[in-house]
Structure 1
Amino acid sequence: MKTILTTGSNGLLGQKITEKILAEGRLKLVATSKGANRYPVIEGYEYAEMDILDADQVKHVIEKYRPDAIIHTAAMTNVDTCEANKELCHQLNVDAVGTLLAICEEKNIRLIHLSTDFVFDGADGPYQEEDAVNPVSYYGESKVLAEELIKNSKANWSILRTILVYGITSDMSRSNIVLWAKGALEKASPINVVSDQWRMPTLAEDLAEACLLAVEKNAHGIYHISGKDYMNIADLVRKVADYWALDKTLIKEIGSVSLNQTAKRPIKTGFVLDKAIKDLGYNPHSFEDGLKILDRQMKKEN
C-alpha cells in the first residue's frame, strides 16, 4: 500500500484528501500542516506538524515517514496578500517547493503540486495545458516560478492547475466564493459581484479525487482540473441564490475596475479538461451537483 504525505492538511483541499483516503482505505496517509491537526477524525492516519518554511523540519518529517508521494497543497493563495507581501509569498510558493523538490529527487518521491488558472493572463480562456503562461499578479507569477522549478527538476512530478475551489469542512481557516455569497445573502446583505470575470468553479472533492488519481496512475506532466461549467462570477452567485432560494435583488453587478483590488485578476480563465478526462479518468460534478453535495454536508454539520 502506497504512503501519501500531504502538506497543508488543515486546509479545505487537505481535509478533503484526508476524508477521501480514510473512506477508501487504498492508501496510507501522513497528514502534515503548520500547528495542531484540525481534522475532526484522528484515527486511521498519522499527523505531523510541519512548517513548509522550516527546511530542517520538512526534511526530518519526510525522512521519518518515507512517503511514496507528496501532495503539496500548502501555499499562500490570497491574491492581494501575495501582491502586498511578495517576499513571504515567494518563500511559501517558490522556496518551499524548492525544498520539497530537493528531497523528492534525493529520495525518489513523487511530487503532486497544486497550481492555478492565475498563471494565465485571462485574455484567451478557456486554456489548454500547453498554452503560454503570462500572469498578471504576483500570486500568479509565484506559481509560474514554482512550475518552472518543478519542470526543470529530476523529480517524478505532476502539476494540477485548478480554479476557484469551493466546499466546506468542519474547521475552516478561510471562506470561499460559494460560502461567502450564501452567508451574505442569508443575512440580507447587499453584495457587489463582478460580471466581467469568467471561471469554472471547482468542487473541493473533485480536486481531491484528481490528486489521488494522479498518484495512482503515476501521471506525469501538467493537468487542468476544474468544474465543467463556465460562468462569470455574477452568474455563479445568482446560481447560489437560486439554489438556496435567496434574494437575487441583493446582488449588484459591477466591473472589476471598480473593486480597486491590490492585485489584478485575469478576466477569462477556464480550462479545457480533455487531457485530465482521458489520462486520469477525471469526471467532475456539475456546479448544480456541487451545490447539492455542499447542502447535504451543511445539513449534516448542523
Structure 2
Amino acid sequence: MRKRIAALLCVLLLLSGCSGGAEPSDGYVLYFQERDLRSAAGEGALRTESVQLEPTEAPARALLEALLAGPTDETLKNAIPAGTSLLSLELKGSRAVVDLSSAYGMLSGVELTLADQAITLTLTQLPDILSVQITVRGQELAYRSKQVFTARDVLVAPEGDVVGTAEVTLYFPDESGVLQPEERTLELYEGDTQVSAVARALENGPLDSDLAPAFPEGFRPRSVWLEEDICYVNLSSGLLGDLPEDAALDMALEALTRSLCALENVSETRFLVDGEYASCYGPVALEVPEK
C-alpha cells in the first residue's frame, strides 16, 4: 500500500493539472488525502478542495489554518493528524517556516510524506512562497531525509519495496462495541516488522464496512517493537489533551493487545508511556510488570 500511495503521489505532483502550483481564479485550494484510496485508482492520493479567503487575511496563515481544520468533503480526510495546531509561521524570503505542535511528530513513513506534501502544495500556490520547512515544537524531525520541500519534490518508494507479507488477525469493534476479528494479508516494506505493520493497519481501520475503527481520531502509538516474544507499545502522553473526551482508549489498547498477540511470535504486550512504564494512560489503567 505504501508503494502505491507514493506512486500515486508522484503522479499527482508531476501532473500540474491537479492544481499543483497556481492560484485558481476563484480563490485558493487546500490539499487533502483521499479517504478511500481504492476509489482513487488512476488518480492522486491527494485531492484539492477550494477555499475562499477574506481579502484582509494573511493568505499563508489563513491557508494553513484552513488546512488544519480539515476538509468539508466527506470523501476526503486530513493527511495531518487531528490535534495538530500551528505554533508559528514565519516567512524567510521565499521560504515558509512552519512550526507545528507535537501531534505532527507522531507521523512517519508515507503518512509523513503525504502530510508534508499537503502542507507544501497548499502554501507554494502563493507566488511569494517557493519552499516550505516544517518543524515540530521548533525541532526538525531527524528521521526525515530532507527538511525543506518544494512543490516539485517527489518522494517515490523504490522498486521492489515490498519485501514480504504477513497473515494477521486484526480486531475492530462491531456496532455493539464488541471486538471482532478481521483476517488480513499485510504487505511488509523494507524496514517494517510484523508488529509495526499490525499497528499501522489498525490505525488505517477495517476493510469490513460492518466494523468500525478501533482507534479514536487522533490516537496512534508512538512506536512498537518486539524483544524476544514481548511486544512493547510506546504511547505518547502529548496526544491525550487533543483526544475527544469520549475517546474509547480502553478499546484501542485492547484491540492493539489482541491483534499483536495474534501473531505467532508475540506472547505478551506491554505498554509504555513516553518510554517509561506507567500505571495509567489517561483513564485506562496499565499493568506495570514486577521488577
TM-score, length basis structure 2: 0.26
| Larger-gyration structure (1/2) | 2
Which structure features the higher share of helix residues? Answer: 1
Bigger relative CO (Cα 8 Å, ≥ 6 apart): 1
Report the structure, 1 or 2, having the larger strand content: 2
